Amino acid sequence: MDRRMMLAAFAGAVSAGLLPARAAGTVIDAAVTRENGCLPRSDAASCRVGFSSTPPLAVDPCRGRAWAMALAYVLRGYGATVSPEDLLARAGLEVDGCPAHDPAREETLLHTMAGTWTDRRRQDFLLGLAPLPSLHEAMPRHPDFPRLLTRLARQPLLCGAAGHATVMTALTTVPGLAGTVRRDTITVRDPYAPTGGLRLLSGHELSRPFWVLGVSVLPLKGR
């Protein structure tokens, strides 16, 4: 994956201090396109937040590697030279084999990745992961739902709705009653081969609470 693609896509985070200064002013590559706004439909206005085009995410038949593949994809988007194997090693898991898949442990594993890092190019950075509300309710009522939309407007999010980690790239909503909105579709990049690729989460996957995480990367200088 060309890291310039995702760096450009995350350019909106520069002003928040999340990206290296060298990312500022990056020309947005045609392969990555933000698409935030509302369009009329036959029944109602459909509003989309996120990205209409993102680089492919490699797929793997080992479901126990999905969390590492998803996080490595996002980190490479920030310009970090990090592989899924680096994440697995940091977690003390098999690097060459297929770690056991435990959906109840995935979010915990991701949180253990937070902290200071030195990537393969000797770049130092601080990784943070911020919990965001689940989107299992058709009419999201969580007070942090607007914060999730703001994060998704500038960066893909990590999402556990599939029973393994995926990368959420877009969310569409339609107007509900009394000024509310109804969650419509969620688009993800899925690293698990049997369901992999760019796809919509199914109604079954969205029927129960799931975790969502925002990723923050802060360059560390002078280390």
pLDDT single digits (tens) 3-17: 343 444 343 333 233
Q: Total structural domains in the chain? A: 1
Question: Do the Cβ atoms of 98 and 78 come closer than 8 Å?
Answer: no
Predicted local distance difference test score (pLDDT) of residue 46: 82
Question: Do the Cβ atoms of 186 and 166 come closer than 8 Å?
Answer: no
Predicted local distance difference test score (pLDDT) of residue 196: 95
Domain residues for the domain of 35 are 3-219
- pLDDT reading at 144 higher than 50: yes
In whole numbers, what is the pLDDT of the chain averaged over residues? 84
Burial 90-114 (b: 16+ CB within 10 A, else e): ebebeeeeebebebeebbebbeebe
Mean pLDDT of 27-31: 30
- pLDDT reading at 203 higher than 70: yes
* CATH number of 119's domain: 3.90.70
- The secondary element (H helix, E strand) that includes residue 103 is helix 103-112
DSSP-derived 3-state class of residue 9? helix
- Of 11-20, 148-157, 190-199, the least confident: 11-20
Predicted local distance difference test score (pLDDT) of residue 7: 41
- Residues of the chain with pLDDT > 70, as a percent, come to 79
- pLDDT reading at 32 higher than 50: no
Predicted local distance difference test score (pLDDT) of residue 222: 60
Mean pLDDT of 32-61: 77
Q: How far apart are CA 131 and CA 148, in angstroms?
A: 9
- Of 2-6, 31-35, 216-220, the least confident: 2-6
